[in-house]
Structure 1
Amino acid sequence: MSTINETIDAALNTIDGSTAAALVDYQSGMALGMKGSGINLELAAAGNTDVVRAKMRTMESLGIKGGIEDILITLDNQYHIIYLIPGTPLFLYLVLQKDRANLALARYKLKALGSEVRV
């Protein structure tokens, strides 16, 4: 098991291309921990909470069963991954530089880190 800060540090130190990371409670929209540069992580936590809630409402309206594993937002120069931690109201948020990132490996490592985080 890893603490919040250990999990965020591991994301930034072991996932190639990562520049910022946060652990967010999507019930409140508050970041429980965050680190990195190039983005306002408090604003990103609140905004991505809206994204998660909107997708959950849409799935419910459509009658889609099951949960969200992750949400990928692809920008010109970045990937933003929102990984929902199963059984919790939490998500790990990761910002990656496209030219330095391996998206498949980043998703795999983020999932592993999510399974280890202890709040």
Structure 2
Amino acid sequence: MVPLEEVISFDRFSEVVILTETEILEEVSKFYVRMSKQVTKERTEIYQKALGVAPKSIKIDKICNRWGSCNTRKEITYNYLIVTLPMELIDYIVVHELCHIYHMNHDRSFWRKVGSIMPDYKKRMKILNGGE
């Protein structure tokens, strides 16, 4: 094994920080949370104007089995990994959750509302679900 001193070199203007794997994963997670907050805030502002509705709050969390959720208090939560998706899929998720402010279920009225803003939502949903 090569001594650490031979692997790491720095000058007087550099600083080397050695992190454990756990610390690296924590920092990557924090980065995803920050970026997801920024992207979902921007995209929500665009689509809430088009839909004429605004969530009470937007949260980013490490939810396991979904990309987003909207509760009856009009609070939207997005998965912290949403930022890893292509923008067309992020937009679909944002529109989907905003439409839940109008319709809490997935009835025809809900899908009509989604389609009024995003006519190709079925294609996006299929891609998101691994169909394309």
TM-score range, shorter chain: 0.3 to 0.5
Richer in strand (by share): 1
Larger RCO of the pair (alpha carbons < 8 Å, separation 6+): 1
Richer in helix (by share): 2
